[in-house]
Structure 1
Amino acid sequence: MLRLEDVTIRQGDFTLHASLSVPAGARVAVIGPSGAGKSTFLGAIAGFVPVTTGRIDWDGLDLNARSPSLRPISILFQDNNLFPHLTAFQNIALGLKPSLRVNAAEQRRIAAALDRVGLSGFEGRKPAQLSGGQQSRVALARVLLRARPMVLLDEPFSALGPAMKSEMLHLVRDICAQTNATLLMVTHDVNDARAIADNTVLVADGHAAGPFPTADLLDNPPPALRDYLG
């Protein structure tokens, strides 16, 4: 279980408070007005944003003292975290070995991950030679290969068309179900939240609150969310 206990994040004149728990294996959307701190909330869990006070805990493990690389987390940002000078195979291999020195068994695992996301035969292509959807699949293959218990998504599919985005969301859902990973996904699209997340954290007015049942929250939004949704 992920716990944020009396967490305060301060960045200049911006402050965000959070006290909440997310069960292991849950799929949770993170929504709220623009500038409310959704990415900051995710960044604190991942370790990229420092916590001023409080504790972030995963199954009894204090994450505050751990660097991002040592947290049980895989994260995808809007740019998919791909290195342009590396091939699809090499970008995925980074999930196993930063040195890229993978043995035969690891090479087979990478090939299996590529196959799982429908990219067999694309191993040697660099990101510039891939479509936006294919780049997203490479990034997801790396997440699949790492098999971390938490997956954080910061709108990685926002630039995709509706059909491709829907396909990627279904793939994320299947991968998280396969690995029993806990998913937290920042999105501005309430349809994405409805499609993939049973529960939702609302970030607004300086607080991250919830998780709330997604359908209930979106069907009967509080004032801060109602104003944002229009």
Structure 2
Amino acid sequence: MSSDHISSDPAPVTKPSNWNVPNALTTLRIILVPFFGYAMLQDGGDSIGWRITAFVIFTVGMITDKVDGDLARKHNLITDFGKIADPIADKAITGMAFIALSVVGSQSGEAWYVAGGEVWWWVTILVLVREWSVTLLRLSIMKDIVIPAAQLGKIKTTAQGVGLGFLTLPLVADDHAWGTAGEIAFYAAQVVLAIAVALTLWSGYEFFRDAWRQKRAARA
């Protein structure tokens, strides 16, 4: 038999190991969540030093979100662990930011639906319900239906990161350490976050719509 025919069968495709840099960054992002929450809520959110620390932790977490995805796609390191852990890590750190900012704002003693110098509670609840319902549905149908991340969802994540990130800073501290620039940045961050919330709800609608269409097409 000619040696030209010995290797005619295609080489088996080996799955990348779960022990890789993108998954390590995803795990780091999950680990950072409680530390971020702790820093945000120190002294009721009134400590300038702890709020800046929280900003640094949150920024590191959001950067890892970008880096681990780029590395996984570039080096073909997409794993089952990454598919499950990555969206959980994303929702965990942004969800903690929403909750912490609402907790800090509710120190004013106002009703739950209007309290929140940074983020109103009703906004936080609405966003968390959307984010986790989409994540749970994505994980539950992962084996049957693959819905790639839409561009709108990526823009939403970026807007959330920018808005939440700046709001973690003590921009309107009682001692007015940030001055007029802090107030401008604060209200600009509120506008960005409002846009992010609108994109969050719309992209959630698109996800459920596409999931329903694919499910119906699969049955047909």
TM-score scaled by length of structure 2:
0.25
Larger radius of gyration: 2
Structure with the larger strand share: 1
Select the structure that is richer in helix. Answer: 2
Q: TM-score, normalised by structure 1?
A: 0.24
- Which one scores higher on RCO, CA 8 angstroms, separation ≥ 6? 1
